[in-house]
Amino acid sequence: MMLALTTASPIPRFILRLRHAVAVVALLATATSVSVAAPSLIPAPPQIAATAYLLIDADSGRVIVEHNADERMPPASLTKIMTSYIAAAEVAAGSVRLDDQVPISIKAWQMGGSKMFVREGTKVSFGDLLHGVVIQSGNDASIAVAEHIAGSEDAFVDAMNQYAAALGMTNTHFANATGWPAENHHSTAHDLALLTRALIRDYPEHYALYQQKYYEYNDINQPNRNKLLWMDDSVDGVKTGYTEEAGYCLISSAVRDNMRLIAVVLGADSNRARIRENQKLLTYGFRYYETHRLYAADEPIRSVEVFGGVSNSVRAGLASPLYVTIPRGQYDALEAVTEMHPPLEADIQAGDALGKLQITLDGALVASRSLVALDSVEAAGLTKQLWDRMRLLIRRLTG
């Protein structure tokens, strides 16, 4: 049957062959991306000169390239992505305001490393401090932000680790808000990609700071340390980091043809190397892969028969958009399969799991998602319930 697709960008039409299989199935609670064997036309990923690296699609979550992606490493100033993520969350919640005047403590003023050059005893707007964290990578600004939000850097660090757990960053533990070398301060390429993906998704207005090339404070105009912003117009973030222990690190993100990729490079041996290796990952991903939105949230995918309800059917769809990342030129080979629960009986509440949707490419699973009820169906009166139960009994007896 012809299935209309909602897509993020104009794409060729194709027919998704929709097979209706009635079976009891185990449902996946969340979207799961499953790797697809790359066709022979796609070359092997580039060799990357770094200790760990990862390339993912920001919408689908599909991992395109990875190496040592779960190896724990010091994140250096990439830590500040979490600091700014929490700051954005606090602003969105109304707990702090961008025009809050933040007193600068001695601890913030004395902090070494990269600086915004705030002065102890002065007050700086929270908005200015966020620019200092993101663009200037200021350790002093990061501590001032942490102290304003949580009262102390230690209390803020506790919040950082709670946010990390909520985002699924299972191999991450923070010990400070700056990335300054410390015992038990570590993360992974995979976890940092999860954080970056969440930042872009949850707080796009705040993320816009990451593409700003310069910021001036205290008569000192500092450039963004992410030099890819000058070299590639498609790049709009994200963050550099360096310590002797961590090496040269860079997370970059770029958008081309409505496809956003996130590249993470940890432990490169120079600033030039981390830029070069990020470029190689982004070029490979955009050249050989494409991402499509197949379904929007709450878009009806199929209608399911209901027994004993005021309505004889209920619409089934997805709770969130479904994106897939596939090798270029393979869009027309995608196939959608639905598997549903045994016959449904009312009451049914919107959001109830009804079955699952699987997307395959040449027989390989690309994505599997729960199908949920898009509407509620209340139980009908006694007469209709008895009639529908009789119909259901006959159907079961006749197979």
Q: Which residues are catalytic?
A: 77, 80, 137
Asked if 339 contacts 21 with a C-beta cutoff of 8 angstroms, the reply is yes
Asked if 177 contacts 160 with a C-beta cutoff of 8 angstroms, the reply is yes
Q: What is the dihedral of CA 170, 171, 173, 178, to 10 degrees?
A: -110
Asked if 292 contacts 7 with a C-beta cutoff of 8 angstroms, the reply is yes
d(CA 163, CA 86): 8
Task: Tell how strand 235-243 and strand 247-256 pair up.
Answer: antiparallel
d(CA 157, CA 151): 11
d(CA 16, CA 19): 9
d(CA 287, CA 270): 26
Q: Which amino acid is at 150?
A: A
Closest-CA residue to 31 (of 361, 369, 372, 340): 369
Q: What is the DSSP letter of 115?
A: -
d(CA 263, CA 244): 22
Residue holding tokens 């310069």? 214
Phi, psi of 44 (to 5 degrees): -60, 150
Q: What is the dihedral of CA 203, 204, 206, 211, to 10 degrees?
A: 150
d(CA 320, CA 297): 4
Using a 10 angstrom Cβ sphere, with 0-12 exposed, 13-18 middle and 19 or more buried, the burial of residue 381 is: exposed
d(CA 264, CA 274): 9
d(CA 302, CA 304): 7
User: Residue 81 in 3-state DSSP?
Assistant: helix
d(CA 352, CA 27): 11
Q: Is the dihedral of CA 89, 94, 98, 101 positive or negative?
A: negative
